[in-house]
Amino acid sequence: MSSLLSQILRKIEPVDRNVIELARKRQDLLTKPRGSLGKLEGVSIRVAGIRRCITSTFDNKAIVVMAGDHGVVVEGVSAYPQEVTRQMVYPFLNGCAAVNVFARHIGARVAVVDMGVIGGFESNPLLECKSIADGTSNMAKGAAMTRKQATDSIEAGIAVIESQIAKGLDIVGTGEMGIGNTTAASAICAAVTGRSVAEVVGRGTGIDDIQLKHKIEVINQALEVNQPDGNDAIDILSKVGGFEIGGLTGVILGAAAGNIPVVIDGFISGAAALLAVKLSPQVKDYLIASHLSEERGHRVMLEYMGLIPLLDLDMRLGEGTGAALGISLVEASVKILKEMKTFEEAGVSDKDTEG
């Protein structure tokens, strides 16, 4: 393992249980029946433990969107051609994609990162280039990338999040773009959780039944050819992953090392989260699942990590759209803990508040 990755892993500490207990006590004293705000109460308490502060503010919010191409697309696993990955980066940069709309809605900046899009891009101040290569290799025929490339992609993600922290960052959401990346995410999910490919694979960009059957066959072939070690996150990433998934893994690790809550998006972000948790189990406590994707493997991922999604809106776009909506709810939950008064502060009797 590289020195940078090792350093980051050593920096990740458990969340502060003392602050969590203080936050829980305050939440229980607020002018409402205990538990009446449901999951939002638990979210505010978790964030307090992550931030080491009961009354956090979210003045600086960011969504990191990473893009990369996948060699396995040549196997016919997607309803869209590979060039759509590159084409879709431009709407992100122009501020007109769905994630941009949601980001403006919550007051978050969007950081767009090229992790390995075929053809690359001209210089653009709104685009950060961390390209590892022009897309991964075809994982159905061999490893998607070398072990060094896998480590490099994670470290690139760490560098991205550290630059965001340097600008000021209180919470981060994860997003991605990459034609073929649900195939990689499905393979990662199967390799980590031990579930069969048929149990975790979905329709991605909208493939039909025949294509779905073929997609399952391709992923099974990739797992058989590569034999990823389910206990080695970097081995899994190198054999059946993607550069943007590795980058997001680094974002998650770097954010946890900086005591920053990470609101993960859907299936692809979930794959990165699985790898991050495999590298550092205590990262799980820094993760907040924004929503439950329509991709069937996403539920498997979240259950494996013990995460409960905030929303279930039948979404499967990616980009960080779910993460943006999740950040909005997380911020609302934290404001309740910060701005709502306790019974004593409000001069209200706390008797019969359960009714």
Known catalytic residues are: 319
Q: What is the 3-state secondary structure (H, E, C) of 84-148?
A: HHHHHHHHHHHCCCHHHHHHHHHCCEEEEEEEECCCCCCCCCCEEECCCCCCCCCCCCCCCCCHH
Residue 76 in tokens: 């016919």
Between CA 112 and CA 128 the distance in angstroms is 6
Residue 342 in tokens: 């306790």
Residue 43 in tokens: 């979210």
Q: Is 206 left (phi over 0), alpha (psi -120 to 50) or beta?
A: left
Between CA 301 and CA 179 the distance in angstroms is 20
Between CA 290 and CA 49 the distance in angstroms is 18
CA contacts within 13 A on the Cβ side of 237: 29
Distances (CA, A) of 345 to 23, 30, 76, 301, 349: 16, 9, 62, 42, 10
The 10 Å CB-count burial string (b at 16+, else e) for 76-87 is ebbebebebbbe
- Is residue 143 within 8 A of residue 232, CB to CB? The reply is no
Q: Are strands 171-177 and 61-68 parallel, antiparallel or unpaired?
A: parallel
Residues with Cβ within 8 Å of 121's Cβ and at least 6 positions away in sequence, in order, are 86, 89, 114, 127, 129
DSSP per-residue letters across 268-284 = HHHHHHHHHHHH-GGGG
Between CA 150 and CA 246 the distance in angstroms is 6
